[in-house]
Structure 1
Amino acid sequence: MRRAFWRSLQLRVVTSTMVVSMAVVAVLGVFLDQQINTSVLNARLRAAMSEAQADRIAVLGFLSQPAGEPAKQSGDAGKSLQSGGDSPLSQATTALANRAGSASRYSVIICNRKLPGACFGTTNIDERAVTDKMRADVVKQEPGKNSLWYGDLHYKGGSEPIPGLVLGARLDTTGAPQVHNEYEIYHLIPLNEEEKTLNAVRQMLVVVGVALVLLLAAIASLVTRQVVTPVRLTRQAAERLAAGRLDERLKVRGEDDLARLAASFNEMAANLALKIHQLEELSQVQRQFVSDVSHELRTPLTTVRMAADLLYDAREDFDPMAARSAELMQNQLERFESMLADLLEISRYDAGAATLDIDSVDIRDVVLRAVADSEALAERHSTRFDLRLPGEPCMAEVDSRRVERILRNLLFNAIEHGEGRDIVVSVGADRDAVAVAVRDHGVGLKPGEENMVFDRFWRADPSRARTIGGTGLGLAISREDAMLHGGWLQAWGMPGEGSQFRLSLPRVAGAELRGSPLPLVPPEVEMRRTWRGQMTPVLTPAAVDGGHDAD
């Protein structure tokens, strides 16, 4: 899923749009919910406060009547929390019950704090709805000033409490001095209908929010699809063009930016195909030229070689100057023959005409023959070979002539750059592969040169005098020989540490090479790296003082 997310621009755009839309809709939904909630509760509170003020005036009217006077209002008797007969408080409760109409609007409880338990209420309201804390808060307030609470309302016979609003106040007896100031009146307004309304609004907000997010995601998908589809087609066309299908072109529709992109791509592809065609023709001409010249030079070279051999054999009859000339001509002819052989070999690889003559051989024998061919050159450079061969046969299906040529090129290169130090030749084998490593302790390679060393005609140091004549194609041909076997030819080197070249070949011809039995980095170098990484610098007192440690 993570890979699909990062590979699909359309999926990322749609996902980002959905995430941002969800955040915006959530914030907007919470804001709207709070505003609607506040508006509904404030409207209910204003209505309740207006009704509470009118009820308090009516109650004062009843309480200010002389005892025993009949009530001014008639109607069904309200159910009291505490029976009170025809007292003014009971009459006031009955009148408020008629005024409220039903418990769904509001209920009223009137208490006398001088008489514990003397509370009268409308409908079937339970006295637990008014808590001791509410009564204590009302007593602290000035007469006529409302105290407000939100909580649960309890009714007699009700199974579950109902969320509601409670308004409590002491009766303001300023206009009725005959009424004592110890009466408290509580209005209990149920909010279950408002809660249902708010829940319905919240559900609607959720449904609308989800629909809006999905709609925005669909719009983003549609818009990005119009952009991504041409880009995807361009990417596919570029991949086919990179794979060699130079006739690949895009369809141009319209005149917008994407259409101009397709037109530019087609123009680029046409120019690229033309340049590649021109380069192929030039390369073909160059390869043909090298091949023709190499073949044509063989005939005159053979004639010159025969004459040079006669002169070289008779050099003892010449004067010293002529004898030396005959020797120089012989040496240069051998060098020229080697250069011509390299040019012919590289032309065969360029033409795809190189083939293998497979045979099952012991790699140790191939290494020994290559070392024997290099002994004379090594002696002239005061170099010795350190052979590290396994005791068991290392059989492999290879073209021994080409493998031997690879090893000779590696040995000649090691002698050339080994600075006269010993050259270590190691052979290793496992179940699937064989390997030969040639290690010198010369100037080494700079970072990045381990790949350039196999390029044609490349030299690590152009100012360095070449002591062994050659075309500069030896390592390039060696790499082609290794690749023809399905193997690897790799290089490692560090300035001052020397270099190492490793040839790895599969034991069975045509098998895939998965690893090498020999390391590319010499073990002693890897060990020094590990040792240095594990060492912790320690400052001695002498070093701190600027002195020298004792030997």
Structure 2
Amino acid sequence: MPPTPSDNRRFAFWRRSVQARVVLSVIVLSAVVVGVIGWVLIRQISDGLVDNRVDISVAEAGNETKVAQERLDSAGTTDADPTTQLRQLVDSLVERGRARGFEVVVQGPVDASRGQGTRTSPGVRPVSVPADLRAEVERSSGVSWTYTRIRYDSDQRRGAVPGVAVGDQVRLPSDGGTYDLFLLFDFGEEEDTVALLRRSLITAGVLLLALLAGMTYLVTRQVVTPIQLTRRVAERIASGRLTERVHVSGEDDIARLGRSFNSMADSLQTQIRRLEQLSLAQRQFVSDVSHELRTPLTTVRMAGEVLHGERNSFDPTTRRAAELLQTELERFETLLTDLLEISRFDAGAAALEVEEVDLLSVVRRTVEATSPLAERRGVRVEVSVDDRSEDPVTAEVDVRRVERVLRNLLSNAIDHADVSGETAAGLDGDLVEVCLMADRRAVAVTVRDHGVGLQPGQSAQVFNRFWRADPARARTTGGTGLGLSIALEDARLHGGWLQAWGLPGRGAQFRLTLPRVAGEDVEHSPLPLSPAGLRDLGRRRRTGAR
């Protein structure tokens, strides 16, 4: 049966509460110790009571048997017949038993040829004497004893009481017969004493456990309460309330811990504020520089366009300089635009303009937009989509940002494609593959190239600002080094993922995963990150190639 929510709450309380675990541990360990000690004490006391009672009973039985035999011997053989003499013997023993607390069972004569009879104290059943004790008394001379249960007739007592049976033999002078004499001593008082002692020990143990639990609770509370207060303060500091501090009083270890915590919080607050000021200054600097450079850049760009428009009238050297100037001005303007976008992300000012669109059309538009670059590089771009559904692949996204992400990924793949021919894996090096797939909650787009690939550990570094896998390699697309960083921020702004895979000589693959409904969390991606997983998805419908 699966655990219920109440069970989960109890388990959570047990895992989180040190005080509960300590108190319960003390109770359990104390219960074990008290139980062992109580059991040993009860065993020793009960054994002592029983052993003492047995010794007294055996001694008393032997004395009673001796007195009874002396009376029989002094009576002689002519005073009475055997029946009368036996009755007098039993009556005297029963009378003495009432005063001394024992019961009498007489059986005999032992010689079975003359018949046997049994006489007992009123209400006592002969089965109170165990058979093995009867056999022992008949086999040996002397006193024998054993533990037994004294059973009474229903009109006397219910059930049976514990006791000891002591047996010996006496001889009747009137007929010379030998009779088995058993004296049964009741241990009811000893049993009541042990029961009272057991109840007393249990009551004392329960009270002791309750006292220990209360003491443990009070002691642990003195330690746990300051720790709980410190935890709450730490949670407030973690939530951004940097001015929170622990109230400290006293000079003990807990107070010293609180002072150390407050000192650490002061130091962290100082460092965080310093870093915030530094970050704010950096963001402000980037924003100010980007804005301030726009005016002179516009002027320089206008002048560069004039020169570029008149380049055919220049000499070859001047014409080449005008073309390079125009190219670098365009790259410089793109860099400024990316820096402004990065500054908006850093300042938390970026926002989505969500609308429901067909992502297949977005992919096609992006491929069309990058087709001139692909043609210049001699790269073919293929687009494929899952053919298991005829419905449009729609999602609630910011179209401008998604197009920018796909444009960055395609430009990067085209720039790194191997246009020299076949790759080491036997694939077309000049091929860039774009795959689109969606499920009920997410949509994914992968962009695959067959270029130089990525070294181990570089799949995370590619999203760093201005990072390049090969610093000595020239950019053919005039990139700024911020494209993948901005693409990653755009994906995160949607609540999605942007991930990279690559192997040396095997190319690279980037995967963009977005939720189909804005604001939902992405738990999985419809497409695998590794290209090997794409081949396991089965047949895909080709929608276009360029």
* Superposition TM-score, scaled by structure 2 size: 0.83
Name the counterpart of 2:543: none
Name the counterpart of 1:30: 39
Pairing partner for 2:59 from 46, 50, 57: 50
> CA contact under 8 A between 1:138 and 1:168: conserved in structure 2?
no
Matched, 1:151 2:159: no
| d(CA) in 1 for partners of 2:210, 2:471 | 67
* Deviation string, structure 1 residues 80-116 (Cα, Å, up to 9, x no partner): xxx96431x43332332232225x8111223331254
Q: CA deviation at 1:443?
A: 5.3
| d(CA) in 1 for partners of 2:254, 2:167 | 75
Could you say what secondary structure the match of 2:206 adopts?
helix
Pairing partner for 2:496 from 477, 488, 503: 488
Q: CA deviation at 1:162?
A: 1.9
Q: CA deviation at 1:334?
A: 2.1
> CA contact under 8 A between 1:252 and 1:259: conserved in structure 2?
yes
> CA contact under 8 A between 2:62 and 2:143: conserved in structure 1?
no
Name the counterpart of 2:294: 298
RMSD: 3.3
| Letter matched to residue 500 of structure 1 | F
* Deviation string, structure 1 residues 503-541 (Cα, Å, up to 9, x no partner): 41445xx543456773243574277699xxxxxxxxxxx
Name the counterpart of 2:87: 90
Q: CA deviation at 1:63?
A: 3.1
Pairing partner for 1:166 from 141, 164, 167: 164
- CA distance 1:381–1:45, change in 2 (3 Å): farther
* Deviation string, structure 1 residues 1-35 (Cα, Å, up to 9, x no partner): 11111011111111212221222222222222212
Could you say what secondary structure the match of 1:125 adopts?
coil
Matched, 1:274 2:270: yes
| Letter matched to residue 129 of structure 2 | V
Task: Number of aligned residue pairs: give it.
Answer: 510
Deviating more after overlay: 316-325 vs 257-266: 316-325
> CA contact under 8 A between 2:283 and 2:346: conserved in structure 1?
yes
Q: CA deviation at 1:462?
A: 5.9
| d(CA) in 2 for partners of 1:474, 1:263 | 48
Could you say what secondary structure the match of 1:168 adopts?
strand
Could you say what secondary structure the match of 2:479 adopts?
coil
Mapping of residues 326-365 of structure 1, within 5 Å:
326-358=322-354, 361-365=357-361
Mapping of residues 202-217 of structure 1, within 5 Å:
202-217=198-213
Name the counterpart of 1:525: 533
| d(CA) in 1 for partners of 2:228, 2:134 | 74
| Structure 2, unpaired ranges of 5+ | 1-9, 419-428, 539-546
| d(CA) in 2 for partners of 1:283, 1:252 | 34
> CA contact under 8 A between 2:445 and 2:527: conserved in structure 1?
no
| d(CA) in 2 for partners of 1:200, 1:494 | 82
Mapping of residues 57-456 of structure 1, within 5 Å:
57-65=66-74, 66-69=76-79, 85-87=83-85, 89-102=86-99, 105-111=101-107, 112-115=109-112, 116-141=115-140, 143-155=141-153, 157-158=155-156, 160-171=158-169, 182-358=178-354, 361-389=357-385, 392-419=391-418, 420-429=429-438, 434-442=443-451, 451-456=460-465
- CA distance 1:399–1:148, change in 2 (3 Å): closer
- CA distance 1:443–1:225, change in 2 (3 Å): farther
Deviating more after overlay: 50-59 vs 473-482: 473-482
> CA contact under 8 A between 2:404 and 2:487: conserved in structure 1?
yes
- CA distance 1:249–1:123, change in 2 (3 Å): same
Larger relative contact order (CA 8 Å, sep ≥ 6): 2
- CA distance 1:449–1:191, change in 2 (3 Å): farther
Pairing partner for 1:15 from 24, 36, 56: 24
- CA distance 1:357–1:528, change in 2 (3 Å): closer
Q: CA deviation at 1:417?
A: 4.1
Could you say what secondary structure the match of 1:518 adopts?
coil
| Letter matched to residue 413 of structure 1 | N
| Structure 1, unpaired ranges of 5+ | 71-82, 531-551
